[in-house]
Amino acid sequence: MSSITKGHPQGLMTLFFSEMWERFCYYGMRVLLTLYLVKSLMKGDAEASLIYGAYTGLVYAAPILGGKMADKYLGYRYAVILGAILMAIGEFLILEGSEMFLMIGMGALIVGNGYFKANISTIVGKLYEDNDPRRDSGFTIFYIGINIGALLATTVVAYVGETYGFDKGFGLAGIGMLLGTFIFWSGRKNYAAAAGLNPTEAGLKKAIGPLNMVQVISIGSLLLIPLCYVLVLQNQVLDYILLGLFIYISYAMISAGAKEDQTSDKPIWKDRMIALIIFMVINITFWACFEQAGTSLTLFADRNVDREIMGWIMPASMTQFFNPFFIITFGSIFSIMWVKLSAIGKNPSIPMKFALGILQLAAGFLITKVGMMFVDDAFQVPLLTLFFLYMLHTTGELFLSPIGLSMVTKLSPKSMAGTAMGAWFLSFAIANYVGGKIASLTGGHGDSGEALSAAEGLDKYIGVFSTIGLVLVGISILIMIANKPLKKLMHGVE
């Protein structure tokens, strides 16, 4: 590892390992959640999927608030530590074993993730000067840390949770978070030079009685936990909240773009904002289908996939490890590939990359049709079905994910970079929530609630997955047709 990080600021490794263990904690919880809801808390597939969708949706919405609070009041270091402690508490609360404690624990994880996820990436960025050529490479190394954490969670936590009990898995994820907190705190000297680490003047001002703003926000964060509890349980409310936020943020971005155009020589910003909103919709489509991994695809693996490897049966949740494994395998190949294609002038445009990413996602779902040709007597498809499905989903992700964040910074004017990034995070939140709704259409129960047989369940899963695949093929073709108009709206952003 030291040879890879040679020439990078010292703080990068501290942040790499802190983030790695935080992702171990988050994915450790996520990898087991649907099976825990169905097998321990006896929820139906549809209800479990909707709870999962609401939880992951709120996890992605929370950084919008967490980032703003750190910018204005808390400073980045305090925000990350506050987030880490809340996440560890959340994991340990789940160990109590009841639905109420699961919901409170999920609330703490949502709020904690909002503070941690938004701000540790900001600290990484602040280790480098504005035009430092090492910045992209630094973020790539950091991204590897995220995926090592996810890989450890989807193997170790998944195995422990399903073999020795869900509580052991959740406990292990909590220990990972404590480890991440310890690394972040003990290595604080390494990233001390980064800007904006300390609470701001506004944060240190007295707000209520003897309490300053930092203390008020910290206490207020605890009050957000019951709110998350209600939103996860009464998740239909999120339909209106997320749609309202999307409409509001789209209007705000187009208005800000139009305003920027009045002071600029070339009227390009309004068009770019419209392009960004279109990409947000495409992003929602991709991730809503991709995020079947934690819900319908895990339940499908549990019921209709032959997971036996030389006498050992792989736990169903562990099939989620294919994604981080393929990201680590292919990630560096892809980053070199884009540079090489650029050099010979063959690098696909951003809309084409999105279209090709969605096409690969579609192919992954359609692979299940091929798996049906090799179904056994127990109505199970071979494990290779999921191997190839996740491989195509991951290559699709690599066409979309790394370019997304960079595209947002290029399409938005400096004056509203934060709002645009918040909007991009919101598209992930909506995607995860919609993903839960899509997953609720699959599952092992018929329309009247009766349990389906293995054969009926397999038919239902394959039917829904192939429909998703065909719809995605159509969307991909639409984006390819819209490539030129989209490029025109982007005004030269590559």
Residue 411: CATH number of its domain: 1.20.1250.20
Looking at residue 2, its pLDDT comes to: 57
The rounded distance, in Å, linking the Cα atoms of 183 and 160 is: 24
Same-domain pairing of 428 and 459: yes
Residue 72 structure tokens: 């204005």
Domain stop point among 183, 204, 235: 235
Note whether 195 and 271 are same-domain residues. Answer: no
Whether residue 79 contacts residue 66, with contact meaning beta carbons closer than 8 Å, is answered with yes
Do 198 and 314 share a structural domain? Answer: no
Rounded distance between C-alpha atoms, residue 416 and residue 414, angstroms:
5
Are 146 and 92 part of one and the same domain? yes
Q: Copy the structure tokens of residue 471.
A: 């719809």
Both 147 and 272 in a single domain?
no
Residues 243 and 368 in one domain: yes
Please indicate, yes or no, whether residues 294 and 402 belong to a single structural domain of this protein.
yes
Same domain, 58 and 189: yes
Query: What is the full per-residue pLDDT of the chain (494 aa) written as tens digits?
Result: 555 667 788 899 999 999 999 999 999 999 999 999 999 999 999 999 999 999 999 999 998 889 889 988 999 999 999 999 999 999 999 999 999 999 999 999 999 999 998 899 888 888 888 777 788 778 888 888 999 999 999 999 999 999 999 999 999 999 999 999 999 999 999 998 887 899 999 899 988 989 999 999 999 999 999 999 999 999 999 999 999 999 999 998 999 899 988 887 778 999 999 999 999 999 999 999 999 999 999 999 999 999 999 999 999 999 999 999 999 999 888 888 888 888 898 889 999 999 999 999 999 999 999 999 999 999 999 999 999 999 999 999 999 887 787 788 788 887 777 788 888 989 999 999 999 999 999 866 655 567 788 899 999 999 999 999 999 999 999 999 999 999 999 988 87
| Residue 114 pLDDT | 93
Strands of 25-85 (E only): list them.
Answer: none
* Boundary-marking domain end, from 235, 257, 278: 235
Domain hosting residue 79, numbered range = 1-235
Q: In the chain, how many H helices and how many E strands? A: 18, 6
Where a domain ends, among 210, 235, 260?
235
Helix residue ranges per DSSP H, 308-416: 322-343, 350-371, 383-411
Report the pLDDT value the prediction gives residue 364, as an integer from 0 to 100. Answer: 98
pLDDT at position 464, please?
A: 95
On whether both 23 and 129 belong to a single domain, the answer is yes
Long-range contacts of 48-51 (CB under 8 A, 24+ apart): 48/295, 49/295, 49/296, 49/436, 49/437, 49/439, 49/440, 49/442, 49/443, 50/235, 50/436, 50/437, 50/440, 51/232, 51/233, 51/235, 51/436
Q: What pLDDT, on a 0 to 100 scale, did the predictor assign at position 135?
A: 80
Number of domains the chain contains: 2
The pTM of this model reads 0.92
- Indicate if 22 and 76 belong to the same structural domain: yes
pLDDT for the residue 167: 96
Specify whether 286 is located in the same domain as 309: yes
Instruction: Determine the residue type at 82.
Output: L
Q: Are residues 103 and 249 in the same domain?
A: no
